[in-house]
């Protein structure tokens, strides 16, 4: 079960006095076991919290903005299995796995007939995947192109950008159908096409692109890039 559904691991900052909110988040985070998620909800932008965590809990967490609800900001924070400076391959492969889990849950709900839950989970998944595509195209790809000498219209990043457009189109198709009880085979056909494209795409990223950028950067540069990826808006 994903942190989206783990209500008992949610910390609503509105329930805490303003001077104690950051301390409250740190206390809740420090109590997590590795791999355990915490969803933080706030009425205000949570970016200052991210910067505090990056400064005071460096390398200890994953940070994933969730779909805002009723004007509230929401983020999932997961304690890492091992602390230390980050590599792109680990951080982005982790996000692939997180997103795969959300998509699987959405279709499990669809197959169980809970179409409202399926729609809610798929919206969270789609927002996360669009953010993932965004930070790849705006942060990761330019670093790879600059360091490898490959222009953006040639080489692996050109292929990745083209596949991103296909993935986004299929996301739109599924999002329009998954909460519809009458969608039936159409949404499953769209999912099959989506898995075909995304599966091959993720494999190329995890086996070629991510290790490639890790090799082209120093340890400190890799860690800084992951910090900027964490700060990429949801």
**pLDDT score recorded for residue 184:** 77
How far apart, in whole angstroms, are the C-alpha atoms of residue 104 and residue 78?
19
Q: Are residues 174 and 109 in the same domain?
A: yes
**pLDDT score recorded for residue 1:** 38
Q: Are residues 54 and 147 in the same domain?
A: no
Pick the last residue of a domain from 45, 79, 113: 79
Q: Are residues 95 and 69 in the same domain?
A: no
Q: Is residue 212 part of a domain?
A: yes
**pLDDT score recorded for residue 155:** 84
Q: Is residue 23 part of a domain?
A: yes
Q: Is residue 137 part of a domain?
A: yes
Q: What is the CATH number of the domain that holds 72?
A: 3.40.50.150
Residue 82, exposed/middle/buried by CB under 10 A (0-12, 13-18, 19+)? exposed
Q: Are residues 213 and 110 in the same domain?
A: yes
Q: Is residue 2 part of a domain?
A: no
Pick the last residue of a domain from 59, 79, 99: 79
**pLDDT score recorded for residue 169:** 98
Q: Are residues 150 and 196 in the same domain?
A: yes
Q: Are residues 208 and 101 in the same domain?
A: yes
Q: Is residue 1 part of a domain?
A: no
Per-residue confidence in pLDDT tens, the chain, 234 aa? 343 344 448 999 999 999 999 999 999 999 999 999 999 999 999 999 999 999 999 999 999 999 988 889 999 999 998 889 999 999 999 999 999 999 999 999 999 999 999 999 999 999 999 999 999 999 999 999 999 998 888 888 999 999 999 999 999 999 999 999 888 789 999 999 999 999 999 999 999 999 999 999 999 999 999 999 999 997
Q: Is residue 221 part of a domain?
A: yes
Q: Are residues 92 and 113 in the same domain?
A: yes
**pLDDT score recorded for residue 82:** 82
Locate tokens 């296909």: which residue? 166
Q: Are residues 69 and 134 in the same domain?
A: no
Q: Which two structure tokens, joined as six digits, stand for 32? A: 């997590």
Q: Are residues 223 and 123 in the same domain?
A: yes
How many separate domains does the chain show? 2
Domain range spanning residue 39? 7-79
Q: What is the pTM of this model?
A: 0.93
Pick the last residue of a domain from 79, 111, 142: 79
**pLDDT score recorded for residue 152:** 84
Q: Are residues 121 and 40 in the same domain?
A: no
Q: Are residues 100 and 192 in the same domain?
A: yes
Q: Are residues 15 and 66 in the same domain?
A: yes
């Amino acid at each position: 079960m994903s942190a989206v559904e783990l209500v008992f691991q949610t910390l609503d900052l509105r329930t805490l006095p303003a001077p104690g909110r950051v301390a409250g988040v740190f206390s809740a985070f420090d109590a997590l076991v590795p791999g355990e998620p915490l969803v933080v909800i706030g009425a205000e932008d949570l970016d200052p919290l991210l910067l505090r965590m990056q400064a005071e809990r460096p390398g200890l967490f994953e940070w994933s903005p969730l779909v805002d609800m009723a004007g509230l900001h929401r983020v999932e924070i997961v304690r890492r299995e091992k602390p230390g400076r980050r590599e792109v391959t680990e951080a982005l492969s982790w996000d692939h796995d997180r997103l795969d889990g959300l998509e699987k849950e959405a279709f499990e709900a669809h197959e169980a007939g809970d179409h409202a839950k399926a729609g809610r989970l798929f919206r969270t998944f789609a927002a996360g995947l669009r953010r993932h595509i965004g930070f790849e195209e705006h942060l990761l790809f330019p670093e790879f192109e600059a360091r490898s000498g490959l222009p953006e219209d040639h080489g692996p990043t050109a292929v990745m950008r083209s596949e991103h457009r296909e993935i986004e189109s299929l996301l739109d198709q599924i999002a329009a159908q998954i909460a519809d009880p009458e969608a039936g085979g159409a949404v499953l056909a769209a999912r099959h096409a989506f898995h075909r494209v995304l599966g091959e795409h993720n494999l190329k990223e995890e086996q070629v692109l991510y290790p490639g950028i890790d090799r082209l950067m120093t340890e400190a540069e890799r860690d800084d890039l992951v910090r900027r990826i964490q700060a990429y808006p949801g």
